[in-house]
Amino acid sequence: MGAKLRITQVRSPIGRPAYQRATLVALGLNKLHRSKVVPDTPENRGRIERVRHLLEVEPISE
């Protein structure tokens, strides 16, 4: 199995550009303080980088 990341939305997308809201949806997040475990891939890393100011990210080792 590959590495995984736990991402938690900690800030609201209200007042943010539409692409940032769409990026959160692509990551599977839509409400504050919800978490999602995603694979640590270059695609997900890029998405996280675009909205890093709205998220908390922690690695998960298996």
Give the span between the Cα atoms of 2 and 31, in whole angstroms: 27
CATH assignment at residue 39: 3.30.1390.20
Q: What are the two backbone dihedrals, phi and then psi, of residue 10, each rounded to the nearest 5 degrees?
A: -115, -5
Domain extent at residue 40: 4-60
Q: How many domains does the chain have?
A: 1
Contact 53, 23 (CB under 8 A): no
User: What does DSSP assign to residue 31?
Assistant: S
Q: Which residues 6+ apart lie within 8 Å of 16 measured at CB?
A: 54
- Reported as a single tens digit per residue, the pLDDT across 15-44 is 999 999 999 999 999 999 999 999 999 999
pTM beyond 0.85: yes
